[in-house]
Structure 1
Amino acid sequence: MNFYTASSFRNIEIVQFINDQLIKQGHHLTYDWTQSERVDTPSALQRIGQLELDAVRASDCLILVLPAGKGSHVELGIAIATQIPVFLCMLDPTSWAGLEASTFYHIGDITPCIGAPEDWVQTILNSKKTCLSK
């Protein structure tokens, strides 16, 4: 399976944990943004944006770790628009059905993963979604 994990820099350690666990199981990360530094120039933003767009497009599924920022939600939109399955990871259900929930969390092929990061990985690995069989 090719996968991409989207989130914000504040979740970098959790994202690295998920990536490491899936890679150990033989899956392929399409782009590791956690190895990048924050950028703010137009040319650097364009370069990173293109890498991330290409990575989402090359993925069999997208993993979105909440809370996440605007860039991650753009990546979610790309996944929904291109019918890439999404695993929506959160510590508690507030983001799924509470005040922090987005309408876009409830359209397309979205699987909520609620609990600890270890639970998210297990849900992803146990999924019968087609993205895991590629």
Structure 2
Amino acid sequence: MLENDRIEELQGVEKADFLVFIFPSGKGSNIEFGIATALKKRIYILDVNNEIENFDLTSTFYFLDNVKSFKGSLDDFAKFIVECETK
């Protein structure tokens, strides 16, 4: 069962147009982030604790060109993604 879950997660990232990432996140989300980065997917990060620029807690991968971070409410984050995706 776990193997099927991992395959489905991988396929989900592969099929996605972009990845939505809530920071901070767990290990599984960071793996999906890595897969999306390798596949050159667009990635949107919601920085819920305003910590993305604390380099003791983050990775330089969060600052790649294909990554856009956002600080604010979940509703405003959704609007931000829609705006970015419809440009």
Cα distance in structure 2, aligned partners of 1:72 and 1:91: 15
TM-superposition CA deviations, 1:69-115 (whole Å, max 9, x none): 11111100111111000001122431x20132222111240000111
Structure 2 matches for 1:6-21, cutoff 5 A? none
Instruction: Name the residue aligned to 1:53.
Output: 10
Cα distance in structure 1, aligned partners of 2:65 and 2:33: 10
Gaps of 5+ in 1: 1-43
Q: How many residue pairs were aligned?
A: 85
SS at match of 1:74: helix
1:57/1:79 contact within 8 Å kept: yes
Gaps of 5+ in 2: none
TM-score normalised according to structure 2 size:
0.88
Identity among equivalent pairs (%): 27
Cα distance in structure 2, aligned partners of 1:119 and 1:92: 15
Of the three residues 38, 47, 59, the one matched with 1:90 is 47
SS at match of 1:63: strand
Instruction: Name the residue aligned to 2:81.
Output: 124
Cα distance in structure 2, aligned partners of 1:113 and 1:47: 32
RMSD after superposition? 1.3
2:24/2:48 contact within 8 Å kept: no
Report the CA distance between 1:119 and its aligned residue.
1.3
Cα distance in structure 2, aligned partners of 1:106 and 1:56: 19
Rg bigger for which structure?
A: 1
Quick one: higher RCO (CA 8 Å, sep 6+), 1 or 2? 1
Instruction: Name the residue aligned to 1:63.
Output: 20
